[in-house]
A and B are shown apart, each in its own frame.
Chain A
Amino acid sequence: MKSKYKHKPRIAVFKFASCDGCQLSLLDAEDELLGVAEAVNIAYFPEATRAMSKGPYDIGLVEGSITTYQDAQRIQEVRRQCKTLVTIGACATAGGIQALRNWKDVDEFIRVVYATPQFISTLKLSTPIAEHVPVDFELRGCPINKHQLIELIAATLAGRKPNVPSYSVCIECKRKANVCIAVTRGIPCLGPVTQAGCGALCPSYDRGCYGCYGPMESPNTAALTSQFRILGETDSQLARAFRGFNAWAWQFRRASEECERT
């Protein structure tokens, strides 16, 4: 990996409210991991190593959303410690599946789930990192694509923009020569409004896309919802389709709220 840094750059991985899966993608990059370890100094990565060095760091990877007062404070300190801050995954970039609380009464959620609610402290909203601090790049996905993560690290080291496309899943289907399941079989598919990155995984197995990579750069959700209605989907089904792992991304948020209103 080419590097713009004169020293071996120090990389740190931080976790907020999340499932650990996106940071695990770095460890899952088995073929590239030695190359990464050669190019960077893994200074703070609790999931991988007990050896933890203090900041500042050159590159910070942040997984997870902000859901507690303590985490809202901690992300400020993380931002101060990292020259380049990158968010990885749907939780960090859009609030994650836990953002479904944002339409509900979180106190009721606490009472329903926990036997001793007095021990639980949480914020009313689950919010993406960029709502709290400036973010240099957002890598999408639930989970992220490990090849995109390696490209992101390589690009950051080289001081260039990462080659991560913002077009839709449809482009990936076309490139794989998939027959469109929405057109030919009437399967509701979020592919036209969802950002590429998964390699059109679900449509390749005859399953509709369910939006893991969040909204593509200019999604026409209104046109897609009217097409879904022609396929016989109800408004409540449509609203739920957009209320997934990227429910709080504003384009999907607006689409689900419009479906609820009709």
Chain B
Amino acid sequence: MTGRGARTIRVDTLARVEGEGSLYIKLVGERVADVKLKIYEPPRFFEAFLRGRHFSEAPDITARICGICPIAYQMSAVHAIERALGVRIDLRFACFVDFFTVASGSRATPCMSTCCTRPISSAART
């Protein structure tokens, strides 16, 4: 408690995500007065060192962004390569890829980062 009717929710370690950080939310009554998100994970520069690599190496490298949800990053790289090369994927295979992605998010300790909420490909929805 930091005063009458005011309280602060402190989460010093957001541990269930890769890219560690902390979160502070200050509430006055029912109103959120202040929010601070601090990312203290050191930078690793994937976007920079991927330059100059062969495109076929990207999925293995991006999978190492997050060890909790590697499939999401790996599939993001695969989708980017497909888009860049104008490759159209067979519907059955697209369904398999989406199943793979969704299944990887149902682990015992799911990563809560936004990568896991990637929309399912339009091919698989139709």
Contact = CB atoms under 8 A, between A and B. Distances in A.
A114 B43 contact: yes
Contact of A122 (B15, B43, B49): B43
Contacts of B36: none
Interface stretch (B57-65, B83-91, B94-102): B57-65
B103 interface: no
Nearest to A105: B48
B15 A47 contact: yes
Contacts of B15: 46-47, 50
A37 interface: no
Contact of A24 (B44, B46, B61, B109): B109
A210 B60 CA distance: 9
Interface in B38-97: 41-49, 53-54, 57, 60-61, 64-68, 70
A224 interface: no
Interface stretch (A3-11, A14-22, A145-153, A249-257): A14-22
Contacts of A213: none
Contact of B67 (A22, A30, A244): A22
B68 A24 contact: yes
A192 B110 CA distance: 36
A100 interface: yes
B45 A98 contact: yes
A67 B41 CA distance: 10
A245 B70 CA distance: 15
Q: Which bracket fits the contact residues of B?
A: 20 to 34
A19 B18 contact: yes
Interface in A105-120: 106, 108-110, 112-114, 120
Interface residues on A, range: 35 or more
Contacts of B41: 17
Given A27-B108, A46-B13, A122-B43, A112 B18 contact: no
A109 B18 contact: no
Contacts of A47: 15-16, 109
A19 B65 contact: yes
Interface in A49-66: 50
Contact of A112 (B47, B65, B108): B47
Contacts of A96: 44, 64
Nearest to A16: B42
21 contacts: A17-B44, A19-B18, A19-B68, A21-B67, A24-B109, A27-B109, A30-B108, A46-B15, A47-B16, A67-B42, A67-B43, A68-B42, A71-B42, A96-B64, A97-B49, A106-B45, A112-B47, A112-B48, A113-B48, A143-B67, A210-B60
| For the complex of A and B, 9 pairs with smallest distance between CB atoms | A21-B67, A19-B67, A100-B49, A109-B48, A98-B44, A46-B15, A17-B42, A20-B18, A109-B45
Interface of B: 13, 15-16, 18, 20, 41-49, 53-54, 57, 60-61, 64-68, 70, 108-109
Given A24-B67, A113-B45, 16 more contacts: A16-B42, A17-B44, A19-B66, A19-B68, A20-B68, A21-B64, A24-B68, A27-B108, A47-B15, A50-B15, A97-B64, A98-B49, A100-B49, A104-B48, A112-B47, A143-B67
